[in-house]
Amino acid sequence: MANHILLNLKRAKYVLDKNWIGNFTQPSRFLYPHQWNWDSAFISIGYSHFNTKRAITELTSLFNAQWKNGMVPQIVFTKKNLGSYFPEPEIWQTSRSKFAPDNYLTSGISMPPIHAYAVLKIYENSLNKNKVLPFIKWIFPKLIKSHQYFYKYRCHDDFIYVIHPWESGMDNSPAWDNILENIDINKVTVPAFKRKDLSTDNAEMRPKDSDYTRYIYLVELFKKYSYQESKIFENSPFIVADTLFNSVISASNKALLKLAKILKNDSTEILEWDNRTTNAVRNKLYSEKDKIFYSYDLKNNSLLKADTAAGFMPLFGGIATEKQAETIYSYLNSTGFCSLLQGNCFTIPNYDTKKTDYDRKNYWRGPVWININWMLWEGLKRYAYIQKADDLARDIIQLPVRFGFFEYFDSFNGRGYGTKDFSWSAALFTDLCYEYYIKHKKNKLSKTRKILLNSIVLNNESSYAITDQKNISQLLLTKVKELKKEFYTDSGTINYQSLQKSKQYNEYKMITNSLRKFDLNMLNSENEKKAFWINVYNTVIVDSIVQSGIKTSVKEVIGLFSKCKYNIGNKLFSADDIEHGILRCNARHAFRKIKQFHFLNSKKKYIMKNLDVRIHFALVCGSRSCAPIKYYSSNNIDNDLEIATRNFINSSEVMVLPENNRLLVSSIFKWYKNDFGGKNGIINIILKYLNNEEKKEFLSNNRKKIKIEYLYYDWNLNK
Ligand code: 2M8
C-alpha cells in the first residue's frame, strides 16, 4: 500500500479526533459546532473501521435526542457551544411541539435517514460481531421508529416529503430556487436575524441572505403551527418529494431488511415501505427524455427540473430499473458531470457544469461533495458500473490527499472550499481507503497471497485447435475479440468468473496451446510484431489471472508477471519478457536493477527495434488503473495506439491543474519515466495528445514551474 495513503489515513484520523468532543463529532469546529443528523451517520461509517466504540457512541448520542414521534432531528445542540451557530434553539423553539425530546435541545426538522445504512456498515465492519450486537438490538427499534415517522407523518402519494431545504441536506440546491423565489415572505413575520456562517472570504460559497430569509420564514411557519405535520402540509409552500431523500430512505430500508434478518425480526412493514417508495420514485420522478430523476413539488404538482447529482441517487437506493439505470448512467457519465474519458476534471460535480447557473464554488450549486460521491459510488457498484465507481472512489481519495479535508471541492482544479478539516470528508475517505487498501490487504491478500517459485506454463495441454501455423496469430486475435465481446464489459473490465467456466475459454485455450508450434519468424514487420506481442501480453495476463484463481488483485500472486508463461514456438515467455524484454527493447523492470534478458538469452532476437512508448497505454496488467483492454491488429496498429494514447491522456489519469501549478499523472509515468524521456518527455507526450487547448497552453508555457505528482495506482482486479 502506498505510503501516502497511510499518512493521509493518519491525517483523516487527526481531523476526526480534533472534531470529536466526547460523545459526538462536530462536522467542523467553527462552522458547524453542534451534532448534525446525516453527518453523524457518515462519520460513524469512517469510525467503524478503526474505532467501533466511537461509531456506536456517535449514533447513540444522536438517537438519544430522537423525538417522541420518531423524528431524528437535523441538529442536536450542545449547550457549551451555544452562541456560535445560527439558527439555534431560541429560534427553533421546539418545545412548542408535544413530541420534542425532554432533555435535549434540537432543531425542529430532520434529514435524509442514512442511519440504518450506517448501522449495517458498523456491524459488517466490526471484527467482533457479538460485541456490537447489543447496540444493534438497542438501535434497531429506534431506526424502525424513525422510518415509521416518515411513512406515517411525512408521506404523500407514497413519497416521503421534506419541508425545508435543510432537510434535504442539499440546502441551496438549484432545485429549490423556484419554490423559494415564489414564497410571499409577507405571509409570516420573519424576525431580524444575524447569520453566523459568513466570514471574510466565504460569502461566494454560502447561500444568499434572501435564501436565509426564506429558510427562517419556513421555521417561523413551523412554529406558528407548533410543528404539527398536517398543518405544515396544508400551509407551507415548501412540500417536496426529494429524489435524494427518497433514495436514501430506500437504501436504508434495504439495510433495515438485513438488520432484521440478523436479529431474526419480522420485516413485513419494511418491505412494504420499500415497495411503496420504489414504485413512486420509478413512476413519477423519472424523466426518460432528460435522463435523470427529478424532485417533485407536491404543492404545485410539478417536477423540479434541476439537473443535480440528486437525480442519480436512485442508483444508491437501488430504486432505478436496469433500463432507467442505463439511461441515467449515460448522463451521469457525460461531460456535464465529468465523464470517464473527459480528463481534467474531478468527478462528480453536484450540478451539470454545462448549465449557465452552474457555480463551481457555491456549496450545493456545483462543487464536488465527498458524501454524494460516496453514495453514488455505492450505487454504481450496485448496478455494476465498476469502472465509473472506481473513478469516483479515486477522486474521493485523491481530492483530500491533494488538497486537504475540505467540505467541498472545485471540479475543475480540485481546490477545497467551505470549511477545512471537515469530518465527513475525513470519515468517508477513511472508509474508501479501508475498502480499497487495508481490508483488501488484511483479509484477502494475507490469507491468499501465493509466491510462485517455479514457472507455470499456461498453454501446456495436449489439445491443439489448429495445425496451420500461419493462421494462429489471426485466430488467437479473433478469439480474443470473441472473448472480449462475451466477457469484457463496455467499460473495458473483464468478467473473469464467467470467462473461466465458458466454452469459449476452452476453445481459446486450444488456440493458446497451438502457440507452442508457432514460428515467431513468421512475424515480419515491426507492426506485425508489435500487435502480436501486445495482444499476447494482454491475453497471457488474462490467462494468468484465470488459471491462478486470483479473486481481487494481481498482487495476490507474487511472480504472476514473471512466472506465468506461454510457450510460443518452444520458448517460454512471461508477461515481463514480453513487456520489458521485447516491447521495451530489453529494458529494466521498473523495480529491478538488471535488464530483462541476459546477454546470452536466446529470446533477445525477438526484441523490437524501437521502443514505441504508446505501448504503455495498451498493455493491460489486469488492474483497475490500467488502460481498458482492446484488440490490436497489425494493419491498424499505428492508429489504434494513437487512439489508446489519446484516450488515456484525456482520461482522469492525467490532470493539469493550472491554479496549483500541478500536473497529476498516472503512476505509469513514474515507473517508465525514462521511456518517456524524463519530466520533459512526459510533458511532451501530454502536450501532443491533450485535447484541452487552455491546459495545453498552460503546460507549454510553464514547463519549469510545474510540479508532477503521481496518482495512486489501483491494483484491484479489473473484473
Ligand atoms: C450544511 O447545512 C447546514 C444546515 O443544516 C448549514 O449550512 O448551516 C449542509 O451541507 C448539510 O448537508 C450538512 O449536514 C451540514 C453540516 O455539515 O451543513
Give the mutation target among 107, 171, 421 for probing the ligand 1 site: most ligand atoms within 8 A of CB: 171
337-365 pLDDT per residue, tens: 999 877 788 999 999 999 999 999 999 99
Model pLDDT, residue 343: 76
> From the alpha carbon of 422, which atom of ligand 1 is closest?
17
The answer, yes or no, to whether residue 165 has pLDDT greater than 50, is yes
Residue 362 CA to ligand 1 center (angstroms) comes to 13
Model pLDDT, residue 565: 95
427-436 pLDDT per residue, tens: 999 999 998 7
304-337 pLDDT per residue, tens: 999 999 999 999 999 999 999 999 999 999 999 9
Residue 170 CA to ligand 1 center (angstroms) comes to 8
The answer, yes or no, to whether residue 595 has pLDDT greater than 70, is yes
Instruction: Kindly state the average pLDDT of the residues 439-461.
Output: 71
> Phi-psi region for residue 207, left (φ > 0), alpha (ψ -120 to 50) or beta?
beta
Instruction: Kindly state the average pLDDT of the residues 508-519.
Output: 87
Give the mutation target among 29, 164, 166 for probing the ligand 1 site: most ligand atoms within 8 A of CB: 166
The answer, yes or no, to whether residue 643 has pLDDT greater than 60, is yes
- C-beta 74 within 6 A of ligand 1: yes
The answer, yes or no, to whether residue 367 has pLDDT greater than 90, is yes
Which residues does 423 contact at the CB level (< 8 Å), separation at least 6? 15, 16, 19, 25, 26, 27, 28, 39, 42, 43
- C-beta 38 within 6 A of ligand 1: yes
The answer, yes or no, to whether residue 253 has pLDDT greater than 90, is yes
Higher pLDDT, 559 or 482: 559
Q: Which three cell numbers stand for residue 318?
A: 437501488
pLDDT band at residue 438 using 50, 70 and 90 as cut-offs: confident
Instruction: Kindly state the average pLDDT of the residues 504-521.
Output: 87
Instruction: Find the range with the poorest average confidence among 155-169, 388-402, 673-687.
Output: 388-402
Instruction: Kindly state the average pLDDT of the residues 506-519.
Output: 87
Q: Which three cell numbers stand for residue 119?
A: 448501522
> From the alpha carbon of 75, which atom of ligand 1 is closest?
5
Instruction: Find the range with the poorest average confidence among 56-65, 381-390, 619-628, 702-711.
Output: 619-628
The residue whose CA has the least distance to atom 7 of ligand 1 is 171
Instruction: Find the range with the poorest average confidence among 306-310, 345-349, 412-416, 590-594.
Output: 590-594
Q: Which three cell numbers stand for residue 683?
A: 510533458
Q: Please list the alpha-helical segments (H only) found in 242-321.
A: 243-263, 268-280, 314-317
Percent of the chain with pLDDT over 90: 71
- 693 given a catalytic annotation: no
> From the alpha carbon of 38, which atom of ligand 1 is closest?
14
- Specify which of 3-17, 46-60, 491-505, 687-701 reaches the highest per-range mean pLDDT: 46-60
Instruction: Kindly state the average pLDDT of the residues 644-668.
Output: 88
Model pLDDT, residue 344: 82
Residue that has been written with the C-alpha cell 456545483 in this structure: 366
Higher pLDDT, 694 or 625: 694
- C-beta 369 within 6 A of ligand 1: no
- C-beta 390 within 6 A of ligand 1: no
Percent of the chain with pLDDT over 70: 93
> Can you tell me the distance from the alpha carbon of 617 to that of 615, in angstroms, rounded to the nearest whole number?
5
The answer, yes or no, to whether residue 445 has pLDDT greater than 90, is no
Answer yes or no: are the C-beta atoms of 277 and 148 closer than 8 Å. no
pLDDT band at residue 202 using 50, 70 and 90 as cut-offs: very high
> From the alpha carbon of 207, which atom of ligand 1 is closest?
7
The answer, yes or no, to whether residue 491 has pLDDT greater than 60, is no
Answer yes or no: are the C-beta atoms of 299 and 232 closer than 8 Å. no
Residue 36 CA to ligand 1 center (angstroms) comes to 8
Catalytic residue among 407, 410, 431, 543: 407
pLDDT band at residue 7 using 50, 70 and 90 as cut-offs: confident
Model pLDDT, residue 419: 96
SS3 annotation, 93-124 = CHHHCCCCCCCCCECCCCCCCCHHHHHHHHHH
- 694 given a catalytic annotation: no
C-beta pairs of 528-532 under 8 Å, 24+ apart in sequence: 528/634, 529/582, 529/606, 529/608, 530/583, 530/608, 530/612, 530/615, 530/632, 530/634, 530/637, 531/477, 531/632, 531/633, 531/634, 531/637, 532/473, 532/634
Answer yes or no: are the C-beta atoms of 475 and 469 closer than 8 Å. no
Question: pTM to 2 decimals?
Answer: 0.82
Residue 373 CA to ligand 1 center (angstroms) comes to 16
pLDDT band at residue 672 using 50, 70 and 90 as cut-offs: very high
Model pLDDT, residue 625: 64
Q: Write out the DSSP string of 534-548.
A: HHHHHHHHHHHHHHT
The residue whose CA has the least distance to atom 5 of ligand 1 is 166
Model pLDDT, residue 137: 98
Model pLDDT, residue 467: 63
pLDDT band at residue 2 using 50, 70 and 90 as cut-offs: low
Catalytic residue among 171, 229, 395, 577: 171
The answer, yes or no, to whether residue 588 has pLDDT greater than 70, is yes
pLDDT band at residue 446 using 50, 70 and 90 as cut-offs: very low
CA 599 to chain centre: 47
pLDDT band at residue 496 using 50, 70 and 90 as cut-offs: confident
- C-beta 167 within 6 A of ligand 1: no
| Mean pLDDT value across the chain | 91
Instruction: Find the range with the poorest average confidence among 126-130, 193-197, 274-278, 391-395.
Output: 391-395
> From the alpha carbon of 85, which atom of ligand 1 is closest?
8
